[in-house]
A and B are shown apart, each in its own frame.
Chain A
Amino acid sequence: MQIGEFLRQKVLAVQEYSLMSWAAITNIFRRPFYWEDVYTQSDLIGVGSLPIVMLTGFFTGGVLALQSATTLAQFGAKAVTGELVSLSMIKELGPVLTGLMVSGRNASGMASELGSMQVTEQIDAMRALGTDPLKKLVTPRLISTVMMLFFLTIVSDALGTLGGGLVSITWLRLDASQYFHMAYQFLMYPDILEGLLKPLVFGFIIATVGCFFGMTTRGGTQGVGRSTTQAVVVSSVLIIATDFFISYLMIGIFGR
C-alpha cells in the first residue's frame, strides 16, 4: 500500500512537471512577454555563472591534458593530446560540467527563490493580482537558462582547450602549434553539433526542474531547504543520464 502510494505520488509529480514544462514552452509564444525578466535572469544566470564556468573549464582542460598525456606517452602518442582534450571538452566535459555547475548555482537558486515565494503566498498574490506565475517566473528563467548555458558551454570549451594547451606546452613540453593543430584538425561538425545540442537540453532541465521544485514547495522554510536540495540532485542526475542518451543517439546517427 505504501509502495503504491509512493508510486502514485511520483507519477503525479512527473505529470505535474510535464504540464508545467509544456506551459512554460507554449508561453514563449503567448502575450504578455516579460522581456525585462528575461534580461534580469540572463544577467543572473549568464554573467553570474561566468567566473565558476571559466575556472572549471580551464582546470578541467588542464587536468585532462595532464592525465591523458601520461597514458598516451606510454604508447608514444603524446602528440595527440590536443585532439583528446578538445574532443573530450567539446563533446562531453564542457557541456556536462558547465551544466552541473550552473545546476548547482541556479537550479538551487530558482528552487529557493520560488519556494520562498510559494510558502509566503507571494505566488498566490501574483495570481490574485492577475499575473500568470508560469509566464512571469518560469518562462523567463527557461529562456535565459537555455540561452546562457549555450554560450557558457562555448566559453568553457574554449577555456578547457586553452587550459589543456597551457599544461601541454609548459609542463609536457609539447609544441604549441602541434597541440592546437591536433585540437582543431580532428574536430568534425557532428562533434560541434553534439557539443552545442547538449547545453540546450541541459538548460531546459536545469530551469524546469529548479522551477518545478520551487513552485511545488510545501512546509515553510524547511520545505524550501528540501526543494533546493532536490532541485540540485534531480537536475544533476538528469543531466548525466540525458548526456548518455544524447551521446548514444549521436553515435548512432553520425557514427562518432
Chain B
Amino acid sequence: MLPAGRRDETIDLQQKLARVQSLLEAARRVHSTIKLDDVLSGVLEIAAKELEADGAFFVSAATQLDARARVYGEVPDDWTRWTERGDMPGYASARLPGERGDTLAHLVIYRARDLSLEEADFLEGLALQSALAIGNAQHHERMIEWERLQLDLDAARAIQRSLLPHSVPDIEGYALAFRSTTCYEVGGDYVDAVLLPDGRLTVVLADVAGKGLASALISTTFRSSFRAIAGAGLPLDEVAVRLNQLHWQEGIEARRRYVTAILLCLDPERHRVEIVNAGHNPAFLVAGDERIKIGASGPPLGMLPARTYESEIFDVEEGHQILLYTDGLTEVFRDDEEFGEDRLLELLGASPMPGFLDHVWQTLARFAGGARQTDDMTALYLCRAVNRELKGDAE
C-alpha cells in the first residue's frame, strides 16, 4: 500500500489526466462542426457538464454572436448583466481571444463550485478551443455569404449587360459602334442610343462617379430618366437641364454619385449633329484637317440644382468622325504615366477606320502592359461613311 502522501499524488495525477482527456474530447467535439450554432451550444454543454455547473453562457461584445445559441442550462434571469470585473459569486469565466488580440467573448458558467486549478485550466483550455472553432465557423459563414453575394453580382452583371443597346441602330450613310468594359462585375458607365420617330438618333455616353455596384445602381436610374426624356424629342440642352434636375432631386447619395455625360443627336437627313457636354471629358470631332474638342458647357448632371447647358451644332460631312469616351480610357496608366487625351486623339486618323474601337482597346492594353483595368471603360464611335463603304461597323 502506498503511503498517504503518494496516494494523494496518484489521485491528483489521475484527476489531471482525466481533465486532459476530457479537454481533448471537448476539443474534438467542438471542432467536429463548422456550424456556428452547433459550436456555441456544444461548448456550453461541455462546460456546464464537465464542471458540474447549473448552466453556461457566452457574453460577447461582438455582434456576430448576438441572437445565437448563447445560453445552456439554468442561468439567472439577469445573466446578460454579467461583467468580467463584476466579482460576482457563483460565476466562473474564461476569455475567448479574438484573431486580432481582442476579446471575442467570455465563456461563463453559473453556480459553479470554487474551481480547482485543474478545473480552471480546463475552462481556459475550452475557451481557447472554442475561440478557434468559432473563428472557423465564422469564416465558413462568411464564405457562404460571399458566394451568395457573388451570385447576386453575377445576376446584376447579366442585367446590366442586357440594358446596353441590343443592336446598334442602322442609319443610312453612317457607322456607329460602341464598346464598354467594366473593371468590376458591374460598373458606372452607361451608353445608349434611342431612335426618334422622325429618324433622328439620340445617343448618350455617361460616367457615374465611383465604380462598382453603387454606381451601377445609379446608372440604371439614370438610364430610366434618359430613356423617358430622350424619347420626347426635346432640344438636347433642355434634355440635359431635366436630367440634371431629376438626378439632383434623387437626394444626397445620388448627388455624390453625379453623372458626367455627353448627349448627342444626329440628324442623318440634314447631316447635322448636336452635342451637349455635361461635365464630361471633351468629345472629339475629326472634320477633315480639323480636330475639334467639345468641352463641357455645364457641370456634371445631378451635382448642383438648376444648371443650364448649351448645345453645339456641327455639320457632318463624308468622312467626319466623332469619338465619345469615358475617362477610363485616358486614365490608363503605365507606371506613373497616363495614356492621356492627346494620345487618344492621335489614334483617330484623317478618315474613318473600320474596327476603330478594337484598335483603341488593343492600343490601351499594350500601353498598360498587361496591368489590371482600374476603371470602367466605355467609348462610342460615330462616322459618316465615305461612299458608304463603312456601313455596319457595329460591335
**Do A and B bind?**
no
